[in-house]
Amino acid sequence: MNEQQGGEQSGPLPRHVAIIMDGNGRWARARGRARHRGHRAGAEAARAAVEVCAEQGVEALTLFAFSSENWRRPDREIRTLMALFRRALEREGQRIHDNNIRLRVIGQRDQFPVRLQQSMAAAEALTVGNNGLQLTVAAGYGGRWDIRQATQRVARLVALGQMSPDAVDETTLQSHLCLADLPEPDLFVRTGGEQRVSNFLLWQLAYTELYFTDTLWPDFGHEECREAIRWFGQRRRRFGQTTEQLGQAAGYSHA
C-alpha cells in the first residue's frame, strides 16, 4: 500500500476512499438559507475531497451524490440537484481532464434527464484515457440494486449455458458489480453525524474502515479530508487474522 511522501501522514494511505456526503440541507437550514444553497456549498466540498485525494496519491475516490432513495425527495429539490449536477459536470469536466483524473458515473442513469445523461457521457468520454485519480460519482445508485444487477448478469450466463451454477462464487459475482475493476474501498467516510452506510456499496464495504464525523458536508474541507486519511493510517487491519499472525510484518494488514 502506498505511503505518503512527506507531510504528517505516517501510516499507509487508503487506495480507495468512498464518501457519503451528508448534511447539505442541515447546513443551509442552520444559516437560514434555502436547501439549494447547501447543495451548492456541498459541491465545493466535493472539489476539496478530489483535490486532497489527488495530491496525496489515493488511487480511487467514490462519491455518493444521489441515491436510489433520493428520488423520494420533493420535486423542486430533485430538479435543483439535477441542474447542479449537470452544471458541475460541464464546468468541472475540463479541469478534471487537465489534472489527469478519470471520471465515471455509476447507477441507474436512464432515470435521469436526457441532457444530464449526455453531460455524464461527455465527461466520461473526455477523461476515459486518464490514469490519475479514478473519480466515481454514484448517482441513482443503491447497493442492493448493484448486487441485483450483478446477479441478473450471472443468471443470464447460466441460462445461456455459458456457466455452470456450481461455478458461481464470490469472485464471479464481484466481477459483475459496479467498480469491479477498482480495489474495494479501504476508507469509508460519512459526514453529518449519522452512523450507517445507507445502501451504499454494500458488497464492497465488507472490510472497509468506517469513519464517521459530525461535520456537515459543506464544512468538510481540505483539512477535514486529510484528517480522515490520517485516521486511516493509524488503523491496524487484520482481515480475519490475529495480531499474533501478523507479527511485525509491515505493521499493517486486513482487519
Could you report the per-residue pLDDT of 101-114, keeping only the tens digit for each?
Answer: 999 999 999 999 99
Q: Hey, is 199 helix, strand or coil? A: coil
Whether 70 is catalytic is yes
Q: What is the pLDDT of residues 170-181, one digit of tens each?
A: 999 999 999 999
Catalytic residue among 2, 24, 70, 100: 70
Contact present, 203 and 146 (Cβ < 8 Å)? yes
pLDDT of 54-78, one tens digit each? 999 999 999 999 888 888 888 888 9
Return the number of other C-beta atoms located less than 10 Å from residue 159's C-beta. 9
The string of pLDDT tens digits covering residues 91-101 is: 999 999 999 99
CA-to-CA distance for 254 and 231, rounded, in angstroms? Answer: 16
Q: Is 181 a catalytic residue?
A: no
Which residue among 2, 22, 98, 110 is the active-site one?
22
pLDDT bracket for residue 23 (50, 70, 90)? very high
**For the structural domain made of 16-142+184-246, what CATH number should be given?**
3.40.1180.10
Residue 174 amino acid letter: Q
What DSSP string describes 96-164? HHHTT-EEEEES-GGGS-HHHHHHHHHHHHHHTT--S-EEEEEEEE-HHHHHHHHHHHHHHHHHTTSS-
Query: What's the one-letter identity of residue 88?
Result: A
